[in-house]
Chain A
Amino acid sequence: DTAVSQTPKYLVTQMGNDKSIKCEQNLGHDTMYWYKQDSKKFLKIMFSYNNKELIINETVPNRFSPKSPDKAHLNLHINSLELGDSAVYFCASSQITSGGLKTQYFGPGTRLLVL
């Protein structure tokens, strides 16, 4: 009964390759996010989708392209991987309440290592 799940958990690949990370939430939330956590543990938001529409798009290279086929799924495709893309990528989801509460529920993370 995992709330937010990500696949794969680990991803090791060569520079220049293209890879995808998948995320699914079964909480019925309407908003999903992608975060990047670097080696210093800094959590930086990359994208956010609300009901399949892109609502937050931070300064992220064009090589990163999110896709939301439905509001329970948010995938991240990365083209031409670079060494600096090595990090842990977290998916999260939340439900905006009438009071503006934005508690985010995080997935277990995908550890990406680019060689």
Chain B
Amino acid sequence: GENVEQHPSTLSVQEGDSAVIKCTYSDSASNYFPWYKQELGKGPQLIIDIRSNVGEKKDQRIAVTLNKTAKHFSLHITETQPEDSAVYFCAASPNSGGYQKVTFGTGTKLQVIP
């Protein structure tokens, strides 16, 4: 089955700096890579996703890059703000026409220091 590794487990940055979270996956059949943000006391919420036919995707201050050859993908947050502080999860999922499960990474706790 799929195995997703995520680094770092914790990340502290000064407000205004950039934050980068990296993930690797093992199943070459995976082709859908969502990122979730989990605020304290809440459920994970999708913030951005990317499919394997795209190398990079950007949405305002958030961008995700994907390297299928190396089987890794990254989340980039620019101009970080205190409200970006949360736990971030990467995930990977194959699409072989059936109902494949989404495998989550182990999470990165991001702290943005004002």
Contact = CB atoms under 8 A, between A and B. Distances in A.
Q: Do these two chains interact?
A: yes
Given A100-B32, A102-B93, A42 B99 contact: no
B64 interface: no
A31 interface: yes
Interface in B40-81: 41-46, 49, 51
Interface size bucket, B side? 20 to 34
A101 B32 CA distance: 7
Contacts, number: 62
Given A42-B106, A43-B104, A103 B46 contact: yes
Query: Chain B interface secondary structure, helix, strand, loop or mixed?
Result: strand
A15 B42 CA distance: 26
Interface in A89-115: 90, 92, 96, 99-109
16 contacts: A4-B43, A41-B107, A42-B106, A43-B44, A50-B99, A90-B44, A92-B43, A101-B51, A102-B32, A103-B46, A104-B34, A104-B102, A106-B44, A107-B43, A108-B43, A109-B41
